[in-house]
Amino acid sequence: MKDDDLLRALGRAAREDDLLADPRWDALAAGELSEREVEALKALSRGDPEALGAFEAFEPVAAEVREAAAARARAMLQERPVGSVGSVGAEDAGGARGARGTRGARGAEVVRLPGRRKLLASVLAGAAAMAAAAVVWVMAGSGARDGLPVYALAVLGGEQTERHGGPPEAEGPPRIGPGSRLEIVLRPVTPAQVPVAVRGFLVSGGDVAAGGGRPWEPPVEISAEGSVRIAGSREALFPGVAPGEITLVLAVGRPEALPADAARAVAMSGAAAPSESAAAPSESAAVQVFRARVTLVSGGQ
């Protein structure tokens, strides 16, 4: 018997016994199966650990994962390429990459994120805890400077009632009602090489140019890699804050370089109009400032 014939026969036999060779798994991941077909796969997975594992692996990834992937993509696209001329020196950018990245012969580079799994888990856990659909509101910071990596901001939470397919920036601020949870994550593209702190300010009315912001002191978690997480209920995060639109101004960076007051933070965040969701580059090399709008709604709204 020829080798080719033998291998073909083996492949044919292996496919017949291979659960994963079923093209329905691909269709499941693509969301192309009818409810009836999904139910059939679910039934297949009952009592069969292998099929159950497959169902979990191929069930479409959560919208939050796709949102996070898009946010990170945008943040990475804003990184200055090695050797570029600009406010971030080529040497600095190359050094940052050299410290944490791997550059292969294919020309592409993978920036390793040791804390990504834990952070993603926390984001997903937070999202899963929300009763309503989650809104992700993402902004990205400017290039890495002085050991401070590029940060991306994700805001999850709110009470959107319809599934949204468009970009998050087109869907308005998350609406936070009584009992709603909100999670804000400031995530470095690479682990921070310097001590990092965060300072927040709250500007009522959403018009940061009008001034009048005040310190915002919610519970904050900062990981060893510089990831910042603010999470809690409406009541825990915004005690005593009246319903209406507010702008959260968050400065992340070296502790000694953080803005002392809201006016300074707003000034550092640049001249972006309050309606813009894209983060403006911070003026300081040691601080990045982000804005996020949310709308606090009363129970009846």
Chosen residue from 91, 109, 235, 261 binding other proteins by CB under 8 A: 109
CA-CA distances (angstroms) from residue 208 to 90, 263, 264, 296? Answer: 34, 9, 11, 16
Considering the complex, state which of residue 53 and residue 212 has its C-beta at the smaller distance from other proteins: 53
Residue 48 as a binder of other proteins (CB under 8 A): the answer is: no
Considering the complex, state which of residue 30 and residue 260 has its C-beta at the smaller distance from other proteins: 30
- How many chain residues touch other proteins (CB under 8 A)? 61
What letter represents residue 239's amino acid? P
SS3 category, 265: helix
Sketch the per residue contact string, 110 through 149, with other proteins: x for CB under 8 A, - otherwise: xx-x--xx--xx--x-------------------------
Per CB under 8 A, the segment of 55-63, 126-134, 247-255, 287-295 that binds other proteins is: 55-63
Residue 43 as a binder of other proteins (CB under 8 A): the answer is: no
What is the Cα Rg of the chain in Å? 23
Residue 150 as a binder of other proteins (CB under 8 A): the answer is: no
Considering the complex, state which of residue 82 and residue 132 has its C-beta at the smaller distance from other proteins: 82
Residue 44 as a binder of other proteins (CB under 8 A): the answer is: no
Residue 68 as a binder of other proteins (CB under 8 A): the answer is: yes
Alpha helix ranges (H) inside 135-255: 234-237
Shortest Å distance, C-beta 246 to other proteins: 24
- Do 113 and 190 meet the contact criterion of CB atoms below 8 Å apart? yes
Considering the complex, state which of residue 64 and residue 262 has its C-beta at the smaller distance from other proteins: 64
- Do 185 and 153 meet the contact criterion of CB atoms below 8 Å apart? yes
Residue 195 as a binder of other proteins (CB under 8 A): the answer is: no
Burial 286-296 (b: 16+ CB within 10 A, else e): bbbbbbbbbbb
Is 241 exposed, middle or buried (CB count within 10 Å of its CB: 0-12, 13-18, 19+)?
A: middle
